[in-house]
Amino acid sequence: MRLARFLLPAVLALSCTACMSIYRMPAGTPSASLRVPPGATTWICADGPAQILPREKDGRARIPAGQRITVGANFSSSDGYMNYFCSAGVSLLPDQDARYYQDFETEGNMCSALVYRESDDTRVGLAFEPTMGRSGPGCTRPSRHAGAVDR
């Protein structure tokens, strides 16, 4: 019974990403760097359906620059009584060689994704990304709202 409490969130997260291919940025494409949230499966929509966005050992992923993309994350957790799954995304127009930070927040039954530009000009090292917007219409991914599943 205890094992099921911990396996179910993992199975839910994997089932929502099982059909996704892994994103490979085309050679020679201008790029930017995105620090992705730990503990979540991150994905990208760049001129097509959602694909898993692989991260490097430093927790960063390369994303295409100069075109509007959508990035997001799938998150699952369990509090021992309920299992939760959530997926959220946000679009942006990355600048070449810029560094970004993806934040994923959950509160109650809702989740959201935000992207900040890393900056040495601010005290906290982050600035709001002015090109941030809603997920793109061509991006097919799991539902944005969190769901609770009884154990």
Which residues neighbour 121 within 8 Å (Cβ) at sequence distance 6 or greater?
Answer: 127
Top-ranked range on mean pLDDT: pick from 11-15, 97-101, 104-108: 97-101
Nearest-Å Rg of the Cα atoms of the chain is 16
pLDDT of 4 strictly over 80: no
For residue 22, the one-letter residue type is I
Indicate the burial class of 106 (C-beta count within 10 angstroms; 0-12, 13-18, 19 or more).
Answer: middle
pLDDT level of residue 136 (50, 70, 90 thresholds): low
pLDDT of 30 strictly over 70: yes
